[in-house]
Structure 1
Amino acid sequence: MKNYNTEQIRNIGIFGHGGVGKTSLVEVMLYNTGVINRIGRVEDGTTVADYHPEEAQRQSTVHTSLVPVELNNVKLNLLDTPGFSDFIGEVKGTLRVVDTGMFVLSAVDGVQVQHEIIWKFAQKAGLPRIVFINKMDRENASFAKLMNELNEKFNANFAPINFPIGEGLDFKGIVDVISQKAYEFGNDGKPKEVAVPDDLKGQLEEYREKVIEAAAEGDDDLTMKYLEGEELTPEEVISGLRLSIANNRVVPVLCGSAIKNMAVVNLTEFLTQYMPAPKCEDGPLAALVFKTLADPYVGRMNFIRVFRGTLKADSQVYNPNKEKMEKIGQVLYVRGKHSEQTPQVPCGDMAVVVKLTDTASGDTLCDKDNKEQLEGIDFPVPNYTVAIAPKSKNDEDKLGDAVNKLLEEDPSLKVEKNTVTKQTLLTGIGEAHVSIAINNLKRRYGVDVTVEEPKVPYRETIRSKVEAEGKHKKQSGGRGQYGHVWIRFEPLPEGDFEFHEEVFGGAVPRNYFPAVEKGLRESMLEGVLAGYPTVGLKATLYDGSYHSVDSSEMAFKIAASLAFKKGIPNAKPVLLEPINYVEVTVPDEFMGDIISDFNTKRGRVLGTDQTEDGTVIKAHVPASEMFKYANDLKSMTQGRGQFKMEFYSYEEVPAKLAEEIIKKAKAEAEAEK
Structure 2
Amino acid sequence: MGDKANAHPGAAGRATAADHPASVRNVVLVGHSGSGKTTLVEALALTAGAVNRAGRVEDGGTVSDYDEIEHRQQRSVQLSLVPVEWDGIKVNLLDTPGYADFVGELRAGLRAADAALFVVSASDGVDGSTRMVWEECAAVGMPRAIVVTHLESARADYEEMTRICAEAFGGDDPDAVLPLYLPLHGPQGADGHAPVTGLIGLLSQKLFEYATGERKESEPSEDQLPGIEEARNRLIEGIIAESEDETLMDRYLGGEQVDVKTLIEDLERAVARGTFFPVVAAAPATDGARQGLGTVEVLELITRGFPTPLERRAPTVTTVDGKPRELKLCDPNGPLVAEVVKTASDPYVGRVSLVRVFSGTLRPDETVHVSGHGLEDRGHEDHDVDERIGALSAPFGKQQRTLSHCIAGDLACVAKLSRAETGDTLSAKDDPLLMEPWQMPDPLLPLAIQAHSKPDEDKLSQGLARLVAEDPTMRLEQNQSTHQVVLWALGEAHADVALERLRSRYGVQVDVVPHKVSLRETFADRSAGRGRHVKQSGGHGQYAICEIEVEPLPGGSGIEFVDKVVGGAVPRQFIPSVEKGVRAQAARGVAAGHPLVDIRVTLLDGKAHSVDSSDAAFQTAGALALREAAADAKIHLLEPVAEVSVLVGDDYVGAVMSDLSGRRGRVLGTEQTSGGRTLIKAEVPEIEIGRYAVDLRSLSHGTARFNRSYARHEPMPPQIAERIRAEARNAS
Query: TM-score per shorter chain, which class?
Result: over 0.9
Q: 1:161 aligns with which of 180, 192, 197?
A: 180
- The aligned counterpart of 1:608 is 670
Equivalent position amino acid for 1:228 in 2: R
Q: Does 1:141 align with 2:141?
A: no
DSSP-derived class of the 1:276 partner? coil
1:418–1:425 CA contact under 8 A, matched in 2: yes
Please show how residues 465-504 of structure 1 align to structure 2 within 5 Å.
Answer: 465-493=526-554, 494-504=556-566
- Residue 91 of structure 2 corresponds to residue 76 of structure 1: yes
Aligned partner of 1:578 in structure 2 is: 640
1:434 to 483, 495, 499: 495
**What's the CA shift for 1:199?**
4.8
Note the alpha carbon deviations across 1:490-544, whole angstroms, 9 max, x for none: 1121422111211222221222122212111111122222111111121121211
Cα distance between partner residues in 2 of 1:524 and 1:40: 66
- 1:152 corresponds, among 167, 189, 208, to 167
Q: Secondary structure at the match of 1:426?
A: strand
* 1:312 aligns to 2:363 (yes or no): yes
Contact 1:159 1:211 in 2 (8 A): yes
Q: Secondary structure at the match of 2:69?
A: helix
In structure 1, the residue matched to 2:697 is 634
Is the 1:50–1:65 Cα contact (8 Å) retained in structure 2?
no
Contact 2:526/2:551, CA 8 A, preserved across alignment? yes
Structure 1 Cα separation of the partners of residues 258 and 406 of structure 2: 39
* CA drift at 1:548: 1.5
Rounded to whole Å, the distance in 2 between the matches of 1:76 and 1:99 is: 11
Shift of 1:662: 1.0
Q: Equivalent of 2:727, from 664, 669, 673?
A: 664
1:240 is matched with which residue?
266
- Take 1:656 and 1:226, find their aligned partners in 2: how far apart are those partners? 72
Aligned mate of 2:515, from 449, 454, 458: 454
> Which residue does the alignment assign to 2:206?
181
Quick one: structure 1 residues 540 and 637, their matched pair in 2 at CA, closer, same or farther if it must change by over 3 Å? same
One-letter amino acid of the structure 1 residue matched with residue 651 of structure 2: E
Query: Which deviates more from structure 2 when the two are superposed, residues 46-55 or residues 172-181?
Result: 46-55
Q: Does 1:275 align with 2:312?
A: no
User: Out of 225, 231, 249, which is 1:207 matched to?
Assistant: 231
CA distance in 2, matches of 1:641, 1:525: 39
Q: Determine the C-alpha separation between the residues in 1 that align with 2:400 and 2:565.
A: 76
1:437-477 superposed Cα distances (whole Å, 9 cap, x missing partner): 01111101111111122123211100111221111111112
Cα distance between partner residues in 2 of 1:39 and 1:571: 77
Q: 1:491, 1:361 → 2: CA distance?
A: 47
| Residue aligned with 2:34, SS | coil
> TM-score scaled to structure 1, two decimals?
0.95
Counterparts in 2 of 1:397-408, with a 5 A limit? 397-408=458-469
CA contact (8 A) 1:577 1:622 kept: yes
Q: Distance in 2 between matches of 1:238 and 1:18?
A: 33
Letter in 1 for 2:525: S
Asked whether the equivalents of residues 135 and 258 of structure 1 are also in contact (C-alpha less than 8 Å), the reply is no
What is the Cα-based RMSD across aligned positions, in Å? 1.9
Residue 641 of structure 1: how far off its partner (Å) = 0.9
* Aligned residues of 1:166 and 1:172 also touching (Cα < 8 A): yes
The question of whether the paired residues in 2 share the 8 Å contact of 1:218 and 1:242 is answered with no
- The one-letter code sitting in structure 2 at the alignment partner of 1:18 is S
Q: Does the alignment pair 1:113 with 2:164?
A: no
Moved more, 74-83 or 113-122: 113-122
Could you tell me how far apart the structure 1 residues matched to 2:293 and 2:340 are?
A: 35
| Greater shift in the superposed pair: 75-84 or 113-122 | 113-122
Larger mean Cα displacement after TM superposition, 482-491 or 204-213: 204-213
Q: Distance in 1 between matches of 2:155 and 2:223?
A: 20
- Partner SS, residue 533 of structure 1: coil
Cα contact 2:199–2:207 (8 A) shared by 1: yes
Q: 1:353 is matched with which residue: 414, 421, 427?
A: 414
Aligned residue number for residue 228 of structure 1: 251
Provide the rounded CA distance (Å) in 1 between the counterparts of 2:684 and 2:222: 63
AA aligned opposite 2:459: K
Distance 1:8 1:210, change over 3 A: farther
Q: What is the number of residues matched between the two proteins?
A: 664
**Aligned to 1:445, what secondary structure does the other structure show?**
coil
Counterpart of 1:596 in structure 2 is: 658
Deviates more, 1:603-612 or 1:208-217: 208-217
Number of the residue aligned with 1:643: 706
Amino acid at match of 1:176: G
Quote the offset at 1:343 in angstroms.
2.5
Corresponding residue of 1:557 = 619
Which among 22, 36, 39 is matched to residue 24 of structure 1?
39
Equivalent pair of 1:163/1:174 in contact (CA under 8 Å): yes
Matches within 5 A, 1:289-328: 289-321=340-372, 322-328=383-389
Quickly say closer, same or farther: Cα 1:430–1:40, change in 2 above 3 A: farther
Asked if the contact 1:67–1:79 (Cα under 8 Å) also holds between the matched residues in 2, the reply is yes
**Corresponding position of 1:56:** 71
Q: Could you list the per-position Cα deviations for residues 329-350 of structure 1 after superposition, in whole angstroms to 9, with x for gaps in the alignment?
A: 3222222321122221111000
Distance in 1, matches of 2:54 and 2:489, equals 34
Cα distance change on mapping 1:3 and 1:417 into 2, 3 Å: closer
The 2-side partners of 1:528 and 1:247 are apart by 66
Where structure 2 has 5 or more consecutive residues not aligned to the other structure, the ranges are 1-14, 187-192, 287-291, 311-328, 373-382
Q: Which runs of 5 or more structure 1 residues have no equivalent in the other structure? A: none
Q: What one-letter code is carried by the residue in structure 2 that aligns with 1:159?
A: L
Deviations 1:298-322 (A, max 9, x none): 2111111111111122222223332
Q: Cα deviation per residue 1:23-68 (whole Å; 9 max; x = unaligned)?
A: 0111111122222224459xxxx75235201100111111110001
8 Å Cα contact 1:290-1:377 kept in structure 2:
no
Amino acid paired to 2:177: F
1:340 maps to which residue?
Answer: 401
What SS does structure 1 have at the residue aligned with 2:98?
coil
- Equivalent residue for 2:631, pick from 569, 588, 601: 569
CA gap of 1:385–1:545, structure 2 versus 1, over 3 A, is same
Any conservation in 1 of the 2:17–2:404 contact (CA below 8 Å)?
no
> Are residues 1:266 and 2:297 paired?
yes
- How far apart are the structure 1 equivalents of 2:343 and 2:516? 32
**Contact 2:309 2:330 (C-alpha < 8 Å) held by counterparts:** no
Instruction: Give per-residue Cα distances to partners, 1:97-120, cap 9 Å, x unaligned.
Output: 211110111111121233212112
Q: Which residue of 2 aligns with 1:35?
A: 50
Q: Which whole-Å CA distance do the structure 1 matches of 2:412 and 2:212 have between them?
A: 34
592, 597, 600: which is aligned to 1:530?
A: 592
Q: For the residues of structure 2 that align with 1:224 and 1:54, how far apart are their CA atoms?
A: 56
SS of 1:534's equivalent? coil
- d(CA) in 1 for partners of 2:395 and 2:281? 28
Identity %: 38
Secondary structure (helix, strand or coil) at the match of 1:523 reads helix
Q: SS of the counterpart of 1:228? A: helix
1:89-104 equivalences under 5 Å are 89-104=104-119
Is 1:122 the counterpart of 2:137? The answer is yes
In 2, the alpha carbon distance for the partners of 1:519 and 1:54 equals 52
Moved more, 234-243 or 344-353: 234-243
